[in-house]
């Protein structure tokens, strides 16, 4: 069974701080998503990674396939970054057991950036 563990579950920080959210998973994957979910529920895909590192504005995502671990970093955090950040993985075809191959989600990290 594919498990996706995120840490921390909750994080409150001051504006300007460097934020790191971690994600570990237990099976081989074809890709990993970092998602942002706002209070209304809508989801935005921030990154899709299968190796290495990606950067978009103040957001950086890294993945280590061998260690089955990914991190999401936010530099110069701002109150508008407050949201739930969710790690989600697509299992690889070999590890999906031939079954449905949708995303498996972590429980999310509730981030609050205080002014």
The residues binding other proteins (CB under 8 A) are 30-31, 33, 35, 40-45, 48, 86, 88, 90, 93, 99-108
In this complex, which beta carbon is closest to other proteins, that of residue 17 or of residue 101?
Answer: 101
Tokens 């570990």, residue located: 24
One DSSP character per residue, 88-100 reads EEEEPTTTTTTS-
Whole-angstrom distance, CA of residue 87 vs CA of residue 59 = 14
In this complex, which beta carbon is closest to other proteins, that of residue 20 or of residue 37?
Answer: 37
In this complex, which beta carbon is closest to other proteins, that of residue 44 or of residue 76?
Answer: 44
Compute the least distance from the CB of residue 42 to other proteins, in Å.
5
Grouping H, G, I as helix, E, B as strand and the rest as coil, residue 63 is strand
């Amino acid at each position: 069974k594919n498990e996706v563990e995120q840490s921390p579950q909750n994080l409150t920080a001051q504006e300007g701080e460097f934020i790191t959210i971690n994600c570990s998973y237990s099976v081989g994957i074809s890709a990993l998503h970092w998602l942002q979910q706002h209070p209304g529920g809508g989801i935005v895909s921030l990154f899709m990674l299968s190796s290495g590192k990606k950067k978009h504005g103040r957001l950086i995502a890294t993945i280590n396939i061998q260690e089955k671990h990914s991190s999401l970093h936010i530099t110069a955090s701002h109150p508008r970054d407050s949201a739930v950040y969710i790690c989600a993985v697509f299992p690889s075809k070999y590890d999906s057991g031939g079954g449905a191959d949708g995303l498996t989600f972590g429980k999310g990290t509730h981030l609050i950036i205080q002014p």
